[in-house]
Amino acid sequence: MSSAPTSDPAREPDLADLGLPGALLDSVLDMGFVRPTPIQAAAIPVLLAGRDLTGVAQTGTGKTAAFGLPLLAAVDPDVRAVQALVLTPTRELAQQVAEAITGFARRIRGIGVVAVYGGAPFLPQQRALAAGAQVVVGTPGRVIDHLDRRTLSLDAIRFLALDEADEMLRMGFAEDVERIFGAAPERRQVALFSATMPAGIVRVAAQHLVDPVRVAVDRESSTVSAVRQTFAVVPHRHKIGALARVLATRDTEGAIVFTRTRSAAEEVGLALVARGLSAATISGDVAQKDREKIIDRLRNGSLDTLVATDVAARGLDVDRVGLVVNFDVPTEPEAYVHRIGRTGRAGRTGTALTFVTPKERHRLRAIERTTRQRLEEVPLPTPADVSKHRVERLLAQTPERHAAGRLELYRAALEEHVASSGLELVEVAAALAALAVGDDRAALEEPEVLEEPVALDGVRYRLAVGHRHGVRPDAVVGALTGEGGLTGKDIGKIDIHSGFTLVEINAELGDDAMRRIAAARVAGQRLAIRPDEGPRPRSAASATSHPGTHRPHDRPGHARRGHERHEDRSDRRAPSRTDRPDRGRPTERAVGERSTSRPRSAAPRTGGRPQQGRPGRG
């Protein structure tokens, strides 16, 4: 395998220097591009010369154009047959690549591009193929489906590209990729792009590429170098509180929070919503249509934070992501590279923050070896930092509001109040600022210990989720506050049993609230809430009794003092299905003790109240 040097830093080439055909060059120039990225400058001339190629580049480096432009140069518009095939690991990436290639081909008459992927109707794809599309972009599973049904033929293939090849193999598509190579002619050009080069990718290249040229983006030129990589040491029980404070001190661009499992993603998302933050969750359980709506909200700025598993985020392409948070340390360094590649894109800079427990610091070394960068330890914001940030944001808006005028009524009322109250003007202004920013630190501070349940004379409800599903009390509170419009004061005792949970609520829920809560998922299960009509449990041993929490805890599963012994036993159970990593299927899948009691006559103890937020499911 020969190597091609990356572009000479002494002279940055123009797109016109790469040898693109006139119509293709005009299309790209029309789109506002003048200079190629390093991977484009290295790969395009090689592919235009007809050579096979392996390209090592992270997401966001411009690799779609690196293979998409030479691909179009190899296609004959007069031949109504599939001549180029691009394989991607996810539906979202297939859509994005197809849209990009369609844009590149806008000046070329007669070029048809079709995306084929699971989760979409088969017939429209079949019709587009029958109409004579020359370029197909698809996921391996759906391409195999079309081959099996003889609605797709690869007999005329000239150009075959694999995008994010390492992800394809990691998702279990190796056999499908082999079948597709076997269905294509032996004489074809192959471009293989991957963020990393594990042994499986090396074997694929050795078997199916002919004397390939290897191009790689220097670390200094890659997406990783555009990302400030940081970490913070956080005890597991304080992760949610730390995350909420980090997000509350940011007001630019969006953020993606990665978790290791689906249940953790759901619980983290609900806890953020309960604290008044704009957040939504995607996992393998989210329907494709809902997933696309959530991603569109992140893209257009109506959603601030997306919580996702690695599987659910594959193929996600949103430029306005300024922060990636690893709620859990990734199990593999390659997964870390893919995660942080979601920020620092399109010429922007980004930040990656990894939460590390005190016992996990050694796991950072493997990440640093892979990225060849040291991670910077950073302090986490305090509740006081959050309040200061809110005040500064409020004050920054005052010049614009002053310029808008119509302040006479407020000025007169303020002067009258100062004169009658005897307070200084600055004291009144400080009080107004505290009211305006909602200086409620309850949702941002560390949890206080609540040893006894809150006494409520309300209604008891039954939820169809329990210990065997891996449910935690925080997730129940988050679902009730985020989806049902409740506050912490409304929720009383929570009894978690093996297959169900009982919750006391101080008022009967309305039909709308019942429907929203019933549809919500916690630990991968629909809550299916209904009024409980059975007898109260007689034995504390049959359930884990959790006092009514008036504040979501700082992590999913944080137990209060007095419950630690029981929770420790439950944590050592065999992991349930929803506790396991969200690995997805290798077919078309999308790219979060003791029972204590007290007499009813005793006065309840109350804590802070979680802020209500927008529902977290987009």
Q: Which domain holds residue 403?
A: 384-443
Contact 588, 139 (CB under 8 A): yes
Same domain assignment for residues 376 and 234: yes
From 219, 244, 271, the end of a domain falls on: 219
Report whether 90 contacts 129 (CB < 8 A): no
Task: Please check whether residue 128 is in contact with residue 111, taking contact to mean a CB–CB distance below 8 angstroms.
Answer: no
Domain presence at residue 132? yes
Please indicate, yes or no, whether residues 44 and 139 belong to a single structural domain of this protein: yes
Q: Which residues contact 266 (CB under 8 A, 6 or more apart)?
A: 281, 283, 475, 521, 522, 523, 524, 592
Q: Which residues contact 242 (CB under 8 A, 6 or more apart)?
A: 232, 234, 355, 380, 554
Whether 452 is in a domain gets the answer no
Residue 335 lies in a domain: yes
- Same domain membership, residue 505 and residue 568: yes
Does one domain contain both 180 and 190?
Answer: yes
The domain boundary residue, chosen from 409, 443, 477: 443
* 348 is a domain residue: yes
- Tell me if 253 is assigned to some domain: yes
| 536 & 479 share domain | yes
Is there a domain that residue 369 lies in? Answer: yes
Q: Is residue 448 part of a domain?
A: no
Reported pTM: 0.49
CA separation, residue 124 to residues 101, 220, 402, 600 (Å) = 19, 43, 56, 64
CATH at 502: 3.30.70.330
Predicted confidence at residue 4, as pLDDT, reads 55
Q: Are residues 155 and 247 in the same domain?
A: no
Whether residue 248 sits in one domain with residue 234: yes
Do 329 and 194 lie in one domain? The reply is no
- Nearest to residue 341, comparing CAs of 246, 230, 225, 193? 225
Q: Same domain for 371 and 241?
A: yes
Asked if residue 613 belongs to a domain, the reply is no
Structure tokens belonging to residue 85: 């095939």
Q: Residue 540 carries which DSSP code?
A: G
My answer on whether 171 and 276 are in the same domain is no
* pLDDT (0 to 100) of residue 225: 65
Query: Does one domain contain both 211 and 240?
Result: no
Name residues of the chain where pLDDT drops below 70.
Answer: 1-12, 59-60, 218-225, 252, 284, 314-315, 346-347, 437-458, 533-618
**What region does 303 belong to: left with phi over 0, alpha with psi -120 to 50, or beta?**
beta
Q: Which residue's structure tokens are 């302090």? A: 379
**CA 507 vs CA 72, 352, 486, 549: distances in Å:** 64, 43, 10, 16
The pLDDT, as a whole number, for residue 536 is 46
Same structural domain for residues 146 and 230? no
Total number of domains in the chain: 4
CATH number at residue 314: 3.40.50.300
